[in-house]
Each structure stands twice: as structure tokens, then as C-alpha cells.
């Protein structure tokens, strides 16, 4: 079977790369090679930047009402192609069909936020801020925005977190699609031009290595960088890009913790933990891989968690019966299994082992079964580092205070959750947790697009978070205008060298 070689997109046109290096894209459920994408050359990356830079000159001058009308149309196009995009996302990534559909829906939600920009970016004005002087602040587009995309949300992150607010506010975009899962993003870009009717060059797309991506971080025509990925890479991107005068959003790793108190509804809490931990095979920064449980209910909880985890249907991602699909690649599967072995070596108690999982008929798929560690102690890397797989670590504590301290000791602070019926503890947790996104009896505390995705500590580096009003501010710069008009009698007034506008 011939494997399709994909192209890169510049100025609305798909072009053959001159590279001699192509990167594989696999069906995660079967292990089969389904496409190859180019490792674009430095010249091709620069071509994409030049295209976005040129397109900005005219796109930034398009009326805001016209841009938002196009976003309304774009929203409907995504909805019309929901089933096609869902299956493509499921195949290349490994999410089950419901999770893949959620990925597309999470691209649509920020598009709806972008449709409201005429209201959001009204700015502010004051008549007669001082005698005869008026002031107004406007939000202006930045220019070219670079988007560096991870593998785990090929629709939501580039086409939800990056593109909608960026282009609706008048910017243009260069996307570095992830080479492991580029097909969903590429298909969406085809629709963007073919059916959306957007001007050429507003969004450009390349696939390349970190070496070529460095060009986007240093080119003076690029004014902002949006990144999602590991903390080490995020720190590098933040430092290099900021040193070159760019704004940065670097959404990085997480090790989200849940605090499970003895008064919680144990059945509901365990269901929420199962969903958040094993959903998307744990390959999301808002997974819930650590449960800090009060000792008085720990044995009961671990037993219930294991029972529910063992009932999950592990299988082909595009089989409607599947609960837990494969992980993205053979390499990622090997990484997760090494982490599991490390947990064993560190002395954590392995309650459920997902290594070596085989699905009949899909023996070459990249499957890892649900895995549970109990009695994970402080300092064990399996409970402190991001594994990005279907692995749960249980840490036992005496009470609320010890549990909160264990959670806040972690260097990451993307999200944090508490399960309790006690209003006092819930409020104290909300106030004192380091987590930027907080759940009270909510397993996945991801806010809607109207609020910022607000990770803290080593989970985020940058100026403003993605989405919400933070996102609007990130993609725009403030311009404050002071105005004064002279009347016909003022021309003979003595010149005042005072440089302010304050009444004196």
C-alpha cells in the first residue's frame, strides 16, 4: 500500500517540500503507517513567515465586523465536518470517538468566543479627561503569531487555542503542526481556505523539527509565540522568544492532584477520577493522575478504583465500544511502560499493571492498559513527574492540611481538585491550592473558552494565558490616543511647555 506524502501550506497553497527527510504518521490502533509529513527546510519555514507577514498588511485592515462574520461561517463549517474530523483525529492519535469529537468541539467553542470580539474589544474612552482633552484606548493586532503544537489535541490547540482569537483580532498565523498527529490540522486548514474563503496567507502550516522551529522563535517578523508541550522545551521557547522581543504563551507539563476526603461521595468521586485519569489515555495536561486520599477511606477507595478501571474497554480507538484507546506511538508506549517499571523500582505498590496489553485483532496497536500504584511516597518520580499515560498514583494522607501540603509541594500547578461535602474545606482549598484551575467535586476543571486556561508554576510561562480576556489581550496591543482640538481663539495663546494634560 502506497503511503501518502503530505505537503506544507503557504499563502493558501499546498506545496511539495524540497526536504529529503519525511516523518511517519501512524494509525495508533493498528500501528500501520498512514502518511508521511515533510521536515520542512529552513527556507520553507521562512517562506511561511513571509506569507503571514504579507497577509497581515491587508488582513489587519479588514473591518472587525467582517472578520467576525467570517468566523461565524467558519464555526458552521467545522460543525458540518464534525464526523470526518472526529474519525481522522481518532485514527492518528488514538482517542476514542467521543474523546476525538470532544477535541473538535473544543476547537469550535473558542471560535464562538471569537465571534463576540466586537463587544469584547470595544476599548475605553473618556471625554474631557481634562479640560479640552479626550483619551481613548484601542486594542490593535500584533502581526504574525507562531503556533507550536503538541500531538495530543490536533484540533483544539491549533484551531481553538491559537487560530480563532489570533485571526479574529487581525493577526496572521504560522502553525508548526505536530509531526505525529498533523492530519487533522491539515484537513481543517484545507477547509479553512476551500469552504471558509479566508484570504490567502492568513494561516500557514509547516511540519519540521525543533531546529527549523527555532526560526519562528527568532525571526523579527513574528511578534508572538504560542506553545504547548513539555516544561523543558517551554522554558527554552520562553527564554529565546522573549529575548527576541516576542510575547509568549508556554503551556507546559502538569501533574494534577485530587484531594479525596473521607466525607466525599465515594462512588461519584471515583467515577470522576476514572474519567479524568484514563480519558484520552491520560495524554492530556488536565488528566488527574494523582489521588491524595485520606487514610480512613484509602483501602476502600483503592479497591473501588481498581474494580472500575478493570471494567474499562480497551480497544481500537474508532470502535464505538472502546473506553480506553491506544497511546499515540510505539515510542510513547515504551516511555509509559518505563515509567511503570520505575514506579516498581522506587517501591510503590503496583495494584494494576497495564504493560504488555494486547487487543485481539489489533496486536500491533500502541495499547497501555489502566495502571494503578498505591502507597506512593513523596520523592517517588512516578507520583511527581508527568507520565502522560493511563497511570494513577495514590498518595495516602492523614487529613486536609497534610493533603494540601502534598499537593502544593509539586512543581506543577495546572489543575487541582478536591472531593468533599464540607463547605469549609472546599473554600479553604479554593483559596490555598496552587492549582490555576480548581475543581470542587469536578474531575476535569477545564473552564469554558470564556475564561482563561490558567496554569501556574512550572505549568506555564508567559504574559497572558490562552482563551478568555487573557487571550484577547495576548493577541492585541494597547494604543492610547490623547486628542485636543484648538478653537479659533486659541492660536494667540502663550506656549505652555508643561508636557502633561492635567488641570493646574
Considering the domain architecture, whether residues 182 and 295 belong to the same structural domain is answered as no
Determine contact, residues 200/426, Cβ cutoff 8 Å.
Answer: no
Considering the domain architecture, whether residues 208 and 297 belong to the same structural domain is answered as no
What is the three-class DSSP state of 178? coil
Query: Which tens digits make up the pLDDT trace of 149-190?
Result: 999 999 999 999 999 999 999 999 999 999 999 999 999 999
Helix or strand holding residue 88 (H, E): helix 82-93
| 96 in any annotated domain | yes
Residues spanned by the domain of 280: 257-440
Could you tell me whether strands 222-228 and 247-251 are parallel, antiparallel, or unpaired per DSSP bridges?
Answer: parallel
Cβ neighbors of 16 (< 8 A, separation 6 or more) are: 7
Q: What pLDDT, on the 0 to 100 scale, is given for residue 332?
A: 98
Q: Residue 116 belongs to a domain with what CATH number?
A: 3.40.605.10
CA dist., res. 448 & res. 155, Å (int)? 16
Tell me: pLDDT of 84 over 90.
yes
Query: Which tens digits make up the pLDDT trace of 125-155?
Result: 888 888 889 999 999 999 999 999 999 999 9
Q: Is the whole-model pTM more than 0.75?
A: yes
Q: What pLDDT, on the 0 to 100 scale, is given for residue 492?
A: 53
Q: What pLDDT, on the 0 to 100 scale, is given for residue 493?
A: 59
Number of H helices, E strands in the chain: 17, 23
Query: Which tens digits make up the pLDDT trace of 434-473?
Result: 999 999 999 999 999 999 999 999 999 998 999 999 999 9
| 389 in any annotated domain | yes
Inter-axis angle of helices 64-80 and 97-114, nearest 10: 160
Q: What pLDDT, on the 0 to 100 scale, is given for residue 51?
A: 98
Higher pLDDT, 432 or 118: 432
Neighbours of 137 (CB within 10 A): 13
Q: What pLDDT, on the 0 to 100 scale, is given for residue 496?
A: 58
Considering the domain architecture, whether residues 276 and 417 belong to the same structural domain is answered as yes
Q: What pLDDT, on the 0 to 100 scale, is given for residue 240?
A: 98
Determine contact, residues 30/38, Cβ cutoff 8 Å.
Answer: no
**Could you tell me the pLDDT band of residue 498, with boundaries at 50, 70 and 90?**
low
Q: What pLDDT, on the 0 to 100 scale, is given for residue 124?
A: 81
Considering the domain architecture, whether residues 223 and 275 belong to the same structural domain is answered as no
Could you tell me whether strands 412-413 and 203-206 are parallel, antiparallel, or unpaired per DSSP bridges?
Answer: unpaired
Query: Which tens digits make up the pLDDT trace of 273-299?
Result: 999 999 999 999 999 999 999 999 999
Considering the domain architecture, whether residues 266 and 242 belong to the same structural domain is answered as no
CA dist., res. 387 & res. 343, Å (int)? 11
**Could you tell me the pLDDT band of residue 497, with boundaries at 50, 70 and 90?**
low
Q: What pLDDT, on the 0 to 100 scale, is given for residue 491?
A: 59
Considering the domain architecture, whether residues 274 and 300 belong to the same structural domain is answered as yes
What's the whole-number average pLDDT of the chain?
A: 95
Counting the structural domains of the chain, the total is 2
Tell me: pLDDT of 66 over 80.
yes
List 9, 40, 285, 316, catalytic entry:
285
Q: What pLDDT, on the 0 to 100 scale, is given for residue 499?
A: 56
- Report H helices in 169-316: 183-194, 210-218, 231-243, 266-278, 295-310
CA dist., res. 252 & res. 233, Å (int)? 8
To the nearest whole percent, how much of the chain has pLDDT over 70? 96
Considering the domain architecture, whether residues 246 and 160 belong to the same structural domain is answered as yes
Considering the domain architecture, whether residues 307 and 371 belong to the same structural domain is answered as yes
Q: What pLDDT, on the 0 to 100 scale, is given for residue 490?
A: 62
Query: Which tens digits make up the pLDDT trace of 220-273?
Result: 999 999 999 999 999 999 999 999 999 999 999 999 999 999 999 999 999 999
Q: What pLDDT, on the 0 to 100 scale, is given for residue 375?
A: 98
The question of whether 285 is a catalytic residue gets the answer yes
- What is the secondary structure of 10-43 as a DSSP string? ETTEEE----S-EEEEE-TTT--EEEEEE---HH
What is the three-class DSSP state of 340? helix
Closest CA to 166 of 187, 192, 135, 136: 192
Considering the domain architecture, whether residues 329 and 223 belong to the same structural domain is answered as no
| 312 in any annotated domain | yes
Considering the domain architecture, whether residues 241 and 283 belong to the same structural domain is answered as no
b/e 328-363 (16+ beta carbons within 10 angstroms → b): bbeebbeebbebbeebeeeebebbbbbbebebeebe
Residue 34 phi/psi, 5-degree rounding, is -115, -15
Considering the domain architecture, whether residues 129 and 30 belong to the same structural domain is answered as yes
Amino acid at each position: 500500500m502506497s503511503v501518502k506524502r503530505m505537503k506544507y501550506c503557504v499563502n493558501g497553497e499546498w506545496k511539495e517540500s524540497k526536504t529529503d527527510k519525511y516523518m511517519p504518521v501512524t494509525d495508533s490502533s493498528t500501528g500501520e503507517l498512514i502518511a508521511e509529513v515533510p521536515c520542512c527546510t529552513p527556507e520553507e519555514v521562512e517562506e511561511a513567515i513571509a506569507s503571514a507577514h504579507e497577509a497581515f498588511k491587508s488582513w489587519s485592515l479588514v473591518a472587525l465586523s467582517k472578520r467576525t462574520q467570517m468566523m461565524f461561517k467558519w464555526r458552521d463549517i467545522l460543525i458540518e465536518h464534525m464526523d470526518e474530523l472526529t474519525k481522522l483525529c481518532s485514527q492518528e492519535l488514538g482517542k476514542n470517538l467521543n474523546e476525538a469529537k470532544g477535541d473538535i468541539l473544543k476547537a469550535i467553542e473558542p471560535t464562538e468566543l471569537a465571534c463576540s470580539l466586537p463587544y469584547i474589544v470595544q476599548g475605553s474612552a473618556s471625554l474631557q479627561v481634562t479640560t479640552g482633552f479626550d483619551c481613548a484606548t484601542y486594542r490593535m493586532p500584533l502581526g504574525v503569531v507562531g503556533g507550536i503544537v503538541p500531538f495530543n489535541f490536533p484540533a483544539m490547540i491549533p484551531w481553538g487555542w491559537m487560530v480563532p482569537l489570533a485571526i479574529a483580532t487581525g493577526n496572521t498565523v504560522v502553525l508548526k503542526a505536530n509531526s505525529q498527529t498533523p492530519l487533522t490540522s491539515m484537513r481543517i486548514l484545507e477547509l479553512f481556505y476551500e469552504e471558509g474563503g479566508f484570504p490567502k496567507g492568513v494561516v500557514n502550516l509547516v511540519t519540521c523539527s525543533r531546529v527549523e522551529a527555532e526560526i519562528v522563535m527568532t525571526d523579527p517578523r513574528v511578534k508572538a509565540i504560542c506553545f504547548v508541550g513539555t516544561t523543558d522545551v517551554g522554558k527554552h521557547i520562553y527564554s529565546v522568544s522573549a529575548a527576541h522581543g516576542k510575547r509568549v504563551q508556554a503551556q507546559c507539563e502538569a501533574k494534577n492532584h485530587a484531594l479525596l476526603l473521607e466525607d466525599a461521595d465515594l462512588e461519584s468521586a471515583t467515577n470522576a477520577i476514572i474519567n479524568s485519569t484514563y480519558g484520552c489515555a491520560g495524554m492530556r495536561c488536565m488528566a488527574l493522575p494523582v489521588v491524595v486520599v485520606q487514610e480512613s477511606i484509602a483501602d476502600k477507595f483503592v479497591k473501588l478504583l481498581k474494580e472500575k478501571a478493570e471494567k474499562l474497554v480497551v480497544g481500537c480507538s474508532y470502535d464505538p465500544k472502546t473506553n480506553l484507546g491506544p497511546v499515540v506511538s510505539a515510542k510513547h508506549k515504551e516511555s509509559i511502560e518505563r515509567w511503570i517499571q520505575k514506579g516498581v523500582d522506587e517501591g510503590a505498590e503496583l495494584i494494576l499493571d497495564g504493560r504488555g496489553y494486547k487487543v485481539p485483532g489489533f496486536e500491533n496497536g500502541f495499547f497501555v492498559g489502566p495502571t494503578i500504584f498505591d502507597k506512593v511516597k513523596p520523592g517517588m518520580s512516578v507520583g511527581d513527574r508527568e507520565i502522560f499515560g493511563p497511570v494513577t498514583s495514590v498518595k495516602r494522607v492523614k487529613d486536609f492540611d497534610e493533603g494540601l501540603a502534598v499537593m502544593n509541594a509539586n512543581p506543577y500547578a495546572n489543575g487541582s481538585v478536591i472531593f468533599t461535602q464540607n463547605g469549609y474545606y472546599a473554600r479553604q482549598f479554593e483559596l490555598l491550592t496552587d492549582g490555576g484551575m480548581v475543581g470542587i467535586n469536578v474531575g476535569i476543571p477545564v473552564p469554558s473558552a470564556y475564561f482563561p486556561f490558567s496554569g501556574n508554576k512550572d505549568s506555564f510561562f508567559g504574559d497572558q494565558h490562552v482563551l478568555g480576556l487573557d487571550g484577547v489581550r495576548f493577541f492585541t496591543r494597547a494604543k492610547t490616543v490623547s486628542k485636543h482640538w484648538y478653537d479659533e481663539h486659541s492660536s494667540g495663546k502663550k506656549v505652555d511647555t508643561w508636557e502633561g494634560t492635567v488641570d493646574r
